[in-house]
Structure 1
Amino acid sequence: MSQQYPPQQPQPNQPYPPQQPYPPQGANPPYPPHPQPPYGAPGPQPPKKGKAGKIAGLGCLGVIVIAVIAGVATGGGSGSDDKGGKDKTAVAEDKPKADAAQKPADKGEAKPDDMSTPVEVTAKKTAFSKSILAQDGSAYTSVLVTVTNNGSEAIDVNPLFFSITDTAGTKHASELAVDEKQIDTVKLAPGENVSGTITGKGSFTAKYVTYTDGLLGDPLRADVS
């Protein structure tokens, strides 16, 4: 036996919203567009950095600061060394100049002992004293000389070690035994002296006497006063 249902009552006409058409099969369903923020509203905020980013930034900044400090320290030290080197060079260059300037002064400031030479010779005019060995009718010129040994070693004195040069530049050898006051042949110890005449043949004006300590020694000249 079939169930009987009461007849449905007719519903008054009510407005229905229009139905959205279904998209065709296989197509993506449409999505509503994102709402745009109103004009003047702040935009989206950037994401905040994490702690790891902050630590990395501080580390980079520290490396830069250390590098700058190291560069300044290195530059300052180099400049100081260069300056010190220049000062030393300047002192080194000035020192020889000071020594060179001091040497002439030291040389000029001679001590009393430095004023004396190892051998001192003086010569004076004197009259000729004829000996028995002098030739008759010959002219001779004599000079009185004094030899003093101021050195520390003994020296030899001999009439043959002397010569006389006249005012015309002529050199006269010593004539032996023609003057009674001829200087002796002796060896002078340090501090000793000896005097005697040196005689040249002829009549002339003596200018200076030359003495040589030994035939191969250094000559020493004494002006005749």
Structure 2
Amino acid sequence: MSTGKKLGLGCGAFLLLFFLMGGCMAALSGGSDGSESAQAPSEQTEDTAEGEVEEAAEEPAEDEPVVLTAEAADFVPSVLHDGGDYTSVHVAVENNGDTAIEVNPLYFALVADDGTKKDTTSALGMSESQIDTVTLDPGQRAEGLVTAEGDFTPASVEFEENLGLGVTVTADIG
């Protein structure tokens, strides 16, 4: 077998392995960019935000696996603050369930008094006392600030574990 033939077969085998690994990764990731599934729940959440707030107020908090409370708070800028307007809310998340839950600033959204949902991703790190990314075991509690860009009056806070794949818990700001 000639040297060129050996080199060609070696490169071909490498490319085959590379494409096979890429196909496996595409199959594992689902093959979509997630834009459709990420937008559909947010549209539904905006339409039903008021209904969820009313349902949360009617049910006793102790029976829920995740209890969320929220209070208005002043925005205290961190060293990363870029000079824009931001609105903060002090939240407390308590795990009353039987399994651990993940808490992350990305899992929160603020709902303004006019009903618009404010994303918190653009305000990550802007507040001095931002809620930490933690795993809460049953019976544990986490507190901190959730901040969104803009100057608005917040009416409620939504917490949805796993970036939209979990159950949404809503708390009125009291």
Same-fold call, TM > 0.5? yes
1:155 aligns with 2:101: yes
CA displacement at 1:220 relative to structure 2: 0.8
Partner of 2:169: 220
Within-5 A mapping of 1:22-61: none
Structure number with larger C-alpha Rg: 1
Moved over 3 A (4+): none
Within-5 A mapping of 1:1-225: 115-136=62-83, 138-174=84-120, 175-215=123-163, 216-225=165-174
Q: Partners of 1:199 and 1:164 in 2: how far apart?
A: 8
SS in 2 for 1:160: helix
CA RMSD of aligned residues (A): 1.4
Fraction of identical pairs, as percent: 43
Instruction: For structure 2, list consecutive stretches of 5 or more residues without a partner in the other structure.
Output: 1-59
SS in 1 for 2:106: helix
How many residues are aligned here?
Answer: 112
The one-letter amino acid of 1:198's match is V
Q: Partners of 1:167 and 1:220 in 2: how far apart?
A: 18
Query: Which structure exhibits the higher relative contact order, with contacts defined as CA atoms closer than 8 Å and separated by 6 or more residues?
Result: 2
TM-score, length basis structure 1: 0.48
CA contact (8 A) 2:62 2:96 kept: no
SS in 2 for 1:144: strand
TM-score, length basis structure 2: 0.62
Q: Partners of 2:170 and 2:155 in 1: how far apart?
A: 10
The one-letter amino acid of 2:143's match is S
SS in 2 for 1:135: coil
CA displacement at 1:115 relative to structure 2: 4.3
CA displacement at 1:170 relative to structure 2: 1.2
Q: Partners of 2:114 and 2:81 in 1: how far apart?
A: 25
Q: Partners of 2:172 and 2:131 in 1: how far apart?
A: 18
SS in 1 for 2:93: strand
Q: Partners of 2:86 and 2:105 in 1: how far apart?
A: 15
CA displacement at 1:116 relative to structure 2: 2.1
The one-letter amino acid of 1:201's match is E
Q: Partners of 1:189 and 1:218 in 2: how far apart?
A: 17
SS in 2 for 1:131: coil
Partner of 2:29: none
Which is richer in strand? Answer: 2
